[in-house]
Chains A and B, each alone.
Chain A
């Protein structure tokens, strides 16, 4: 649970902010580090995987509960 290097709280923020915030964080991180993103924008459900596949970053896990989408992503 606490093995992530960074956590981004994008809850309440709309497209395109979840993607922009995770991209900004990824830019500042080292290869192999983990970032966790929490978002409530439904678009993030497909946008984050789309961003990850476009940029080569890996989604380690994803879940959804109480309207909050949580992604853990490993920086390429």
Chain B
């Protein structure tokens, strides 16, 4: 046997900037992240702007520190289970239909795939600036996330990643 263990090697790396909080964009984010982790890659997802709302616990009804940020949260219901479609949402019908179709086809919902990502060691980093901007408090967010980070941290990661995606 060789002395060097596999874990000593630098794994390949993927970084995703999760900008959109839309249901139909959460799916590729968690599918690619979990699969990359299964492939032995070091994976980080940096959640920023609208991408932050799905990281809020589903039972938190509203976030924000003033009228304006509360209104924004009202228009972008926080929580992964409340995520809407990016197109053809039709006042709530869209994401409901999409989830029905997914279930019928045995595609796991994003919240389940998200947990699998976490089990496989995918780093989930919330954007500190967006948290401040939108008034989203750490205690309102789901467990198991990484430390809130900024643009420089995300870029440092991206500069070392073979795959960088903006979703």
Contact = CB atoms under 8 A, between A and B. Distances in A.
A20 B120 contact: yes
Interface residues of A, number: 16
Interface in B84-108: 105-108
Interface of B: 6, 31, 34-35, 37-40, 105-108, 113, 116, 120
A16 B106 contact: no
Interface of A: 12-17, 19-20, 22-24, 47, 51, 54-55, 76
Nearest to B40: A55
B64 to A, nearest CB: 34
Given A19-B35, A20-B35, A14 B105 contact: yes
B105 A55 contact: no
Contacts of A47: 35
Given A15-B107, A51-B39, 16 more contacts: A14-B106, A16-B34, A16-B35, A16-B38, A17-B106, A19-B35, A20-B120, A22-B38, A24-B38, A24-B120, A51-B35, A54-B39, A54-B40, A55-B38, A55-B39, A55-B40
Nearest to B116: A20
Nearest to B112: A17
A17 B108 contact: yes
A15 B40 contact: no
B39 A13 contact: no
Contacts of B107: 14-15
